[in-house]
Amino acid sequence: MINKGDRIPEVNLVKATDNGPEQVSSTDYFAGKKVALFSVPGAYTPTCSAKHLPGYVEKAADLKSKGVDEIACTAVNDAFVLGAWNKDSGSEDVTMLADGNGEFAKACGLEMDGSGFGLGTRGQRFSMIVDDGVVEELNVEAPGDFKVSAAEYMLDQL
């Protein structure tokens, strides 16, 4: 599993934009800025939609006032689903990074088996503060929990 002090692994992600999906390497995306990254098991799922994404939308200005340049959400979903979810429940303050094949979650050692719920392999619920590609803070939830990956928890770390 990725740890504090490690570099973000090099994988391709797909950024959801108003002009459609845009390929981006993780190395390029995280270079030269401080990113508050959070991962959800899936767009439109209950906790993700009711608490996780809304918390980062609500606390976006607070995070940015503490030195965060960008807030990003990743999930093992395609960019079209993440883009629609952001339009429905998110904001322009959150960048959606699709990990459609789960390569980022796997490279970080943060995948989970959601097949019992018909979800297949997904990314765990987690958050991290990444500064110029290096993990400064890593918060991985226990299965079924929503505490340490919340925006409020991250604010206390900054």
Q: Which residues are catalytic?
A: 48
Rounded to whole angstroms, how far apart are CA atoms 53 and 89? 7
C-alpha separations of 58 from 4, 54, 112 in Å? 26, 6, 27
Question: Shortest CA distance to 13 belongs to which of 120, 116, 130?
Answer: 130
